[in-house]
Every structure is written in structure tokens, then in C-alpha cells.
């Protein structure tokens, strides 16, 4: 992903030098921009996994549009400036919109809002031109068709003409009526933004983190991933909502103004925008934009701008459309809110592998509508690069209005009392010496008995992706470690009813459920145990590779570095880490306790898959968010005689790609490896 960002920055910065060749440079630059924008369109619309900000994308898009205007002979019908969004996904049926869904031109400049309104006045001379200002919801554009008040289908924007059929998933949203209220029009194609509310997003990410799943980057990606689940039961579990703001095809309802739509939506039982304004001068437009910026952080959904639309539908007809956008509307994007506050201290968090992470302790401040007192500082090198000092006035913003980040320092306000920060030489939790491996940024505590590491290791061991011990979450683990009832992961299997009854809020039923979950975990396969014990650099794929290669855990413990490094999906760094792990006396002691507790130490039994299976003998890589966990899918593939690895290579036969598939999908395409979606995978089964 970092390489993608570097490529994008290199692309954006190379133009001036390239223009030295007046004939070749524009053509090459156009080709580069089109290629980059197509890639970003795919990531944004199809994968819901963008790697650049909206502003970076808009800058590239604007440059492309300006170049095509300057060099019309180089314009192309298939340019991104002539199309909307991304292509529909194969896993879903397709729906043709009765009226195309266009996207809006964006701006971050009030001066360009002024230019937009001046253009309207030129195109509609001597006319009063009222406009509506409404929030720009940061969600996923959707279109729903109601016939005589009955919901017939729902679709994504897709390429603007054809979108994905997401009817089943939209139908799970409680605020979306399957039958409209009152006197419904014969045909109503209503447009809106599906979103995941802020509180629901935070809860969803907490649940994914606890289950060992990757967290969503922002609410928009989470909403997109939810709507594109093949199993509507998954979408039903997520707090999705929709805000409707416009129409496509419309029969049986006469409107003269856009502002009349809001009351009609309410009558029909369709959720509309929180606030909207009507203005007929530039001053009123800018005033509404500023007022919305003050109010929008209190909305339950994410917003990233204000949409300005001509109110009169008759005037819209006169103004018309471009190939991509209406001439009668523009989206003003707000800058990410930045505030200044005092950095009171830099604290250290210790992770399960011993990594020390610096965290900014801030004088509490409100950013984007919420109170912030902590922000990550990533690592020592980042602190040095930004020259962050304790006592500084720092600039804080919420990346995507979600994650607090220190983005700058007010060095001009320094008094001389500020203190430079140095990472500790000893772990703040246990006092042990810390180390920094050559070529690594991370600093780690190597004491396996460190209480902070112990809590994190036990939480990881019990997580859904590892040993899946329900009831052994963060709060419970914290109590057990604090009361010295657990000293390593093996201690889980010595817990009994008498011990657990001494803890807060542990009744007879809770104790019984936890002990039963612990007992069930003893039968988990070896790869889960290997993943659960938390060997540095060893993830799910590496754990599977070890369990598939060796007949027993003892064989893994005795293996040489060279033997380990020869295993596909292991390699040099991981192989050395595995070898070192089983040479540490504390780890060996823990393994022996687990053996005594009766856990599964045998490797994966090699069972032939169905003779007719098209999966037998093939190698798979699983990436992205799917309707089942990757572990469950991997077990199914293995049961059918296939093999699952963690990295794409020339030996890979298939890549199963779900939502938010990233670099693995890119590599598969570059190597010409067959990529299948979940529907195609299920047919192969």
C-alpha cells in the first residue's frame, strides 16, 4: 500500500519535468493520469478500499480534466472524465438504472463555489436562481425503485448506468420501508447514501479486533463491505441506515422544486437529510455551508461536505448535464478539522509481542464533534521526524474523522521548557531491557513474563481467530492477570469454578459457560494452537503451513532453521523466529503445560478431497472480506484436497477475492493468476 502511495505521489510530482518535451509530455501524462485514476476508481467503487484521500483523487482528476481541455485532440471516449464510478461486480446480478446516476463535481475552495454560482447566472441570465444546500453524507450511493409503493429492487451506483443488485441487503435496513406510506407514486426511483452510523462503526471495529479480523478503515468502507456481502444475514447484523436526497425516474408525483421533495419523502416514510437550506445569493450559500460545518458533527452519520443544488427542476433542465456530472450541482468538501492542544505526556503501550508504541496524552480537546485525549505517535522515528516534544502545542486531526492523529507541532510557540522524548531503555511494565532488531523500527520488550504482554497474549490466544474461547475477553483477562490467577496461556486450562467464583460478576452460569468453552478449545487443530501462542511474524497462513508440513508439534520444535525456512509460506525471517521461539525456556515450559492439558499437538491429517472436486490439487490465496471467515473457507478448501497459502506466487492457482481485497489481488492480476469471486468459488465446490 505504501508503494502505491509513493507511485501516486511520484506521478503527481513528475509533470513539470515531463513538460520539457512539449509534444510527448501531455500524451504521456494523460495516459499516466488515466491509468492511475482507473486504478483508484477500482479500489474505491469495486473494492471499497481506497489508498488515497478524496482530496488527492480530486486533484488528479482535475489535472486530467484540465489537460483534456487544453489538448482536445488527445481526448478519449473511454477517459475516466467521461464515465462514473466503477464497473458492476460479477458476484451480483445487475440492474440498469432507469435514469443514470451521475456523480458531482467536487471543490475544496469557496472561490470555486463563487465561480459555480457565477456560471449559473451566466447560463440563466436575468433569472433568480435559488439553490438548496444539504449535507454530503459520506456513504455508498444507492438507488431504490418503488412501483405503486412496493420496493422492487435496490442497486449500487455501479458505472452510473448499471449497478449491482443489493436488494436483499438493503431490505435488512430497518429505516428502509418495503412498502411506502400514504399515496405513493406509480414509479419512484429514489436515490440516497447508505451509511454506517458512527457509534455502530466503533462497535463493529471493536468486535472485529476482538475476533482477530482486520478493522475497517472508515465508516464508508464498512458500509460498502456490508452492502456487498453475499449473505444478507451479515448486512442485517450491521447498523446501516440510508439518507435519501433525490430521484431518478418519477411517475405519479409532480414536483416543481427539489426542496418540495423533503416533505414528500417524509410522507412516504423514507428517511431524508437532517438539515437543509435554501439560498439565492452567494453570501447565503456560504453562510449555509459554514453553519452546516458547525452542525454536522452532531449527526449520527459521517459527512464530508455540503452539496449545492439548483432548486428549480425547470432550471435544471435548461442547465443540463455533462457526460459525468450535472451542471446544476456541486459538492463543497470540508477540510479535515484541525485543532491545537497541549501534549502533556508521551505514554508507552506494550503489545502482545512486546512492541512498545508511543501514545500522545493530550489536554482533552474536541475534534470533529468528539472529545480526544489520546492520539497515536506510531514509533520513535515518527516522533523524531515531526520533532514532537512533551509540552508542545500540537496540531491534531481525525483521519477520516475517525482516528485521532498528531499531524504537526507549533514550534513557534515553544518556551524552552519542552522536553525531547526518548524511548525507554527498560519496559515501563516490567522493567526488563528493551531491544531494537537491526533494520527494524519497532522496539520490543523481550521478557515473556511481562504483565502487559501477558494480557495481550492471553487475549490473542483466546480470540476467535485462534483458540476461540468465548467469554475470555479483555475484561476477564484483565481480572485474571491482575489477581495473579493467570501467569501464561497454559494457566487457562487450570482454571476451575472455585478460582473463577472469586472474580467480580461471575455467577454460576457464567462460570459454567467459560469452563465449557475452555474445554472445547482443547480439540482445536494444531494450526490454531500455533497461531494462538503468538510466535513473532507467524500469522494464520504460516501456522497452517507448519501444521500441514509437520506430523506433530514436537517435529516443529526440533526442526532446524534451514528446514523451517524451506517451507512455503515461512521463509527466512519467519523461520528464524519460529526456531528462536522454541529455544526460549519459558516458551518450552508453556508448551509442556499445554501438552499436559491435553491440547491437540498432531498435524493436519491428510484427507483426500472428493474425487471429482475441481479444487483438489490446487493452491489458493484468500483475500478481502467474505461471507464466511477466511479460516472457515480455508478449511473447506483443504477438505476438498486443496491447499491455502498466505502469499501470491507463480505456484498459486486461484485467488479468492472478497471486499477490500488489496495487494494480493493486484499481484494476482500482474502474474495472470485466475481471480474468482465467492459465487464462482461456491460453484467450484
Name the residue among 377, 424, 382 with its Cα closest to residue 403: 377
What confidence category does residue 79 fall into, taking pLDDT thresholds of 50, 70 and 90? confident
What confidence category does residue 61 fall into, taking pLDDT thresholds of 50, 70 and 90? confident
What confidence category does residue 1 fall into, taking pLDDT thresholds of 50, 70 and 90? very low
What confidence category does residue 550 fall into, taking pLDDT thresholds of 50, 70 and 90? very high
230, pLDDT greater than 80: no
- In tens, the pLDDT along 509-536 reads 989 999 999 999 999 999 999 999 989 8
Cell 507467524 identifies what position? 538
Catalytic residue IDs: 136
- In tens, the pLDDT along 662-671 reads 678 888 888 8
- In tens, the pLDDT along 414-459 reads 999 999 999 999 999 899 999 987 767 778 898 877 888 889 889 9
The reported pLDDT for the residue numbered 556 is 96
The reported pLDDT for the residue numbered 68 is 82
Task: For the chain, give percent helix, strand, coil, nearest 5.
Answer: 40, 20, 40
How many CB atoms neighbour CB 173 within 10 A? 21
639, pLDDT greater than 80: no
The reported pLDDT for the residue numbered 586 is 86
CA-to-CA distance for 140 and 659, rounded, in angstroms? 14
Q: Are strands 619-623 and 654-657 parallel, antiparallel or unpaired?
A: parallel
Nine-digit cell string for 351: 503489545
CA-to-CA distance for 574 and 17, rounded, in angstroms? 43
Q: What are phi and psi of 250, to 5 degrees?
A: -150, 120
Residues in the chain: 685
What is the average per-residue pLDDT within 395-420? 84
CA-to-CA distance for 534 and 527, rounded, in angstroms? 12
Q: What are phi and psi of 241, to 5 degrees?
A: -145, 170
- In tens, the pLDDT along 274-330 reads 899 999 999 999 999 999 998 988 898 988 899 999 999 999 999 998 877 899 999
The reported pLDDT for the residue numbered 201 is 83
Go through the domains of the chain in sequence order and give each one's CATH number: 2-82 (1.10.287.610), 94-333 (3.30.470.30), 619-684 (3.40.50.10190)
CA-to-CA distance for 529 and 467, rounded, in angstroms? 7
The residues, any chain, with a CB within 8 Å of residue 28's CB and separated by 6 or more, are 18
Cell 514436537 identifies what position? 554
More confident residue, 378 or 266: 266
Q: Which of 47-61, 345-359, 578-592, 642-656 has the highest mean pLDDT?
A: 578-592
Kindly report the three-state secondary structure assignment for every residue of 556-604: HHHCCHHHHHCCCCCHHHHHHHHHHHCCCHHHHHHHHHHHHHCCCCECC
CA-to-CA distance for 24 and 21, rounded, in angstroms? 6
How many CB atoms neighbour CB 78 within 10 A? 8
What confidence category does residue 20 fall into, taking pLDDT thresholds of 50, 70 and 90? very low
- In tens, the pLDDT along 178-220 reads 999 999 999 999 999 999 888 888 888 777 766 655 567 678 8
Amino acid at each position: 500500500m505504501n508503494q502505491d502511495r509513493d507511485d501516486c505521489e511520484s506521478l503527481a510530482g513528475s509533470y513539470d519535468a515531463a513538460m520539457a518535451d512539449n509534444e510527448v509530455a501531455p500524451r504521456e501524462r494523460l495516459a499516466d493520469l488515466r491509468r492511475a485514476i482507473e486504478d483508484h476508481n477500482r479500489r474505491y467503487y469495486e473494492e471499497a478500499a481506497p489508498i488515497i484521500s478524496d482530496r488527492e483523487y480530486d486533484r488528479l482528476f482535475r489535472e486530467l480534466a484540465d489537460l483534456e481541455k487544453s489538448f482536445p485532440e488527445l481526448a478519449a471516449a473511454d477517459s475516466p472524465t467521461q464515465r462514473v464510478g466503477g464497473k458492476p461486480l460479477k458476484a451480483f446480478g445487475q440492474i440498469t438504472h432507469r435514469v443514470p446516476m451521475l456523480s458531482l463535481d467536487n471543490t475544496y475552495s469557496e472561490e470555486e463555489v463563487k465561480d459555480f454560482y457565477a456560471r449559473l447566472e451566466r447560463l440563466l441570465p436575468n433569472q433568480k436562481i435559488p439553490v438548496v444546500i444539504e449535507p454530503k453524507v459520506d456513504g455508498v450511493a444507492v438507488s431504490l425503485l418503488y412501483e405503486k409503493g412496493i420496493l422492487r429492487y435496490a442497486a449500487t451506483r455501479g458505472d452510473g448506468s448499471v449497478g449491482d443488485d443489493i436488494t436483499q441487503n438493503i431490505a435488512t435496513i430497518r429505516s428502509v420501508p418495503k412498502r411506502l406510506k400514504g399515496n405513493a407514486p406509480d414509479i419512484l426511483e429514489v436515490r440516497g447514501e447508505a451509511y454506517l452510523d458512527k457509534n455502530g462503526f466503533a462497535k463493529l471495529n471493536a468486535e472485529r479486533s476482538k475476533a482477530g479480523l482486520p478493522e475497517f478503515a472508515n465508516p464508508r468502507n464498512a458500509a460498502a463491505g456490508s452492502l456487498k456481502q453475499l449473505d444478507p444475514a451479515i448486512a442485517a447484523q450491521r447498523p446501516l441506515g440510508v439518507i435519501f436526497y433525490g430521484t431518478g425516474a418519477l411517475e405519479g408525483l409532480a414536483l416543481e422544486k427539489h426542496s418540495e421533495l423533503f416533505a414528500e419523502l417524509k410522507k412516504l416514510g423514507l428517511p431524508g437529510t437532517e438539515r437543509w437550506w435554501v439560498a439565492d445569493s452567494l453570501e447565503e450559500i456560504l453562510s449555509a455551508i459554514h453553519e452546516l460545518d458547525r452542525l454536522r458533527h452532531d449527526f449520527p452519520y459521517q459527512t464530508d461536505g455540503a452539496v449545492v443544488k439548483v432548486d428549480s427542476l425547470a432550471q435544471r433542465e435548461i442547465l443540463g448535464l455533462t457526460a459525468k456530472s450535472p451542471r446544476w450541482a456541486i459538492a463543497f468538501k470540508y477540510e479535515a478539522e484541525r485543532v491545537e492542544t497541549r501534549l502533556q505526556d508521551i505514554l508507552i503501550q506494550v503489545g502482545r509481542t512486546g512492541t512498545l508504541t508511543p501514545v500522545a496524552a493530550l489536554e482533552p480537546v474536541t475534534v470533529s464533534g468528539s472529545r480526544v485525549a489520546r492520539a497515536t505517535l506510531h514509533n520513535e522515528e515518527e516522533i523524531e521526524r515531526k520533532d514532537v516534544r512533551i509540552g508542545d502545542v500540537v496540531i491534531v486531526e481525525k483521519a477520516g474523522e475517525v482516528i485521532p492523529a498528531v499531524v504537526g507541532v507549533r514550534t513557534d510557540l515553544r518556551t524552552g521548557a519542552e522536553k525531547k522524548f526518548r524511548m525507554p531503555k527498560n519496559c515501563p511494565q516490567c522493567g526488563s531491557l528493551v531491544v531494537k532488531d537491526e533494520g527494524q523500527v519497532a522496539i520490543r520488550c523481550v521478557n515473556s513474563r511481562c504483565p502487559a504482554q501477558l494480557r495481550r497474549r492471553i487475549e490473542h490466544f483466546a480470540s476467535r481467530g485462534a483458540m476461540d474461547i468465548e467469554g475470555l475477553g479483555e475484561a476477564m483477562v484483565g481480572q485474571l492477570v491482575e489477581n495473579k490467577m493467570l501467569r501464561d496461556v497454559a494457566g487457562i486450562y487450570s482454571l476451575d469454578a472455585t478460582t473463577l467464583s472469586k472474580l467480580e460478576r461471575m455467577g454460576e452460569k457464567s462460570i459454567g459457560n467459560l469452563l465449557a468453552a475452555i474445554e472445547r478449545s482443547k480439540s482445536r487443530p494444531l494450526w490454531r494452537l500455533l497461531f494462538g501462542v503468538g510466535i513473532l511474524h507467524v500469522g494464520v497462513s504460516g501456522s497452517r503451513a507448519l501444521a500441514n508440513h509437520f506430523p506433530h508439534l514436537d517435529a516443529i520444535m526440533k526442526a532446524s532453521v534451514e528446514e523451517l525456512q524451506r517451507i512455503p509460506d515461512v521463509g527466512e525471517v519467519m523461520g528464524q523466529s519460529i526456531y528462536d521461539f522454541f529455544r526460549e525456556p519459558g516458551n518450552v515450559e508453556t508448551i509442556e503445560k499445554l501438552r499436559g492439558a491435553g491440547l491437540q499437538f498432531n498435524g493436519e491429517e491428510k484427507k483426500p478431497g472428493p474425487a471429482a472436486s475441481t479444487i483438489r490439487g490446487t493452491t489458493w490465496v484468500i483475500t478481502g472480506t467474505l461471507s464466511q471467515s477466511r479460516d472457515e473457507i480455508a478449511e473447506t478448501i483443504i477438505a476438498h484436497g486443496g491447499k491455502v497459502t498466505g502469499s501470491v506466487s507463480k505456484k498459486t492457482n486461484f485467488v479468492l477475492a472478497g471486499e477490500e481485497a488489496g495487494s494480493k489481488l493486484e499481484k494476482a492480476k500482474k502474474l495472470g493468476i485466475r481471480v474468482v469471486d465467492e459465487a464462482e468459488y461456491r460453484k467450484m465446490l
